[in-house]
Structure 1
C-alpha cells in the first residue's frame, strides 16, 4: 500500500487579502493608534464571509485588538505607580509579535492554529 497524504487545503487567491490588510492596519496603529479600530471593524465585517483559513486570522485579529485594549487600559491605570510603563511596553511587544506571526502565516496561506489564545 502506498502512504498518501490528504491534500492540504489551499486558500483561494486573494482569500487572505482582508486579513493581511488588517495586519497592516495593526502595524500602522503602533504609531497612529486609530488604525487599529479601523482594522477590528474591518475584521468583524469580513469574518462572516471568509473561508475557514481567513476566518481563523480574523478571529485572531479581533481577539488581539480586545486583549490589547484591555492591557492598554490596565497599563494606563497603573502608570500612577510607574509599573504601567513596563506593562505598556510589554503590551506593544506582545501586539507586534502576534501581528508579525499572523502576517507571516497569512503570507504562507496557513491558518492560525489556535485563534482564541491569549499568547502568540
Structure 2
C-alpha cells in the first residue's frame, strides 16, 4: 500500500532551461565573417559540428541550419569571387552578404522564440 502512495506523489520536474548562448555566438561569428573574410565563420562551423546532436530537437535544427549556412555561403561567396572577373561578381557578393544577414537574423529570432528556424533545408532564405 505504501508503494501506491509513493507512486501517487510523484513530482514531475520541468525540463532544464536550454542555454542558447552558443548558437547565438555562432550566428554572431557568421555575421562577423563579413568583415573578417570568413575566418570567424570557420570557427563557427567547427563549433556547430561539435555541438550538433547534443540538445533538444529544435536546438539541433539550429546547428544543422548553421552548418548548411556555412557550406552554402561558401559556395555563394566562391562563385561571386570567380565572377568578379566579369564584374557581375560584385553584385553577387552583395546578394550573398544580404542572404547571410537574413539567415542569421532568422536564426536569432528562432532562438529567442525557442523554436527551430524555418525552412532549414532551403538554399535561399
Task: Give TM class, smaller chain.
Answer: 0.7 to 0.9
Deviation at 1:106, TM superposition (A): 0.5
In structure 2, how many angstroms separate the alpha carbons of the residues matched to 1:14 and 1:34? Answer: 28
Give distance in 2, aligned partners of 1:76 and 1:12. 45
Which residue number in structure 1 is paired with residue 88 of structure 2? 83
Aligned positions of 1:1-120 closer than 5 A = 12-32=16-36, 33-120=38-125
The offset of 1:13, in angstroms, is: 2.3
Shift of 1:14: 3.6
2:75 alignment partner, SS class:
helix
Whole-angstrom distance in 2 between the partners of 1:109 and 1:48: 16
Deviation at 1:87, TM superposition (A): 0.5
Number of aligned positions between the proteins: 110
1:103 deviates by: 0.7
Q: Compute the TM-score of the two structures, normalised by the length of structure 2.
A: 0.82
CA RMSD of aligned residues (A): 1.4
TM normalised by structure 1 equals 0.85
Residue 18 of structure 1, CA deviation: 2.0
Moved beyond 3 Å, runs of 4+: none
* Distance in 2 of aligned mates of 1:29 and 1:50: 26
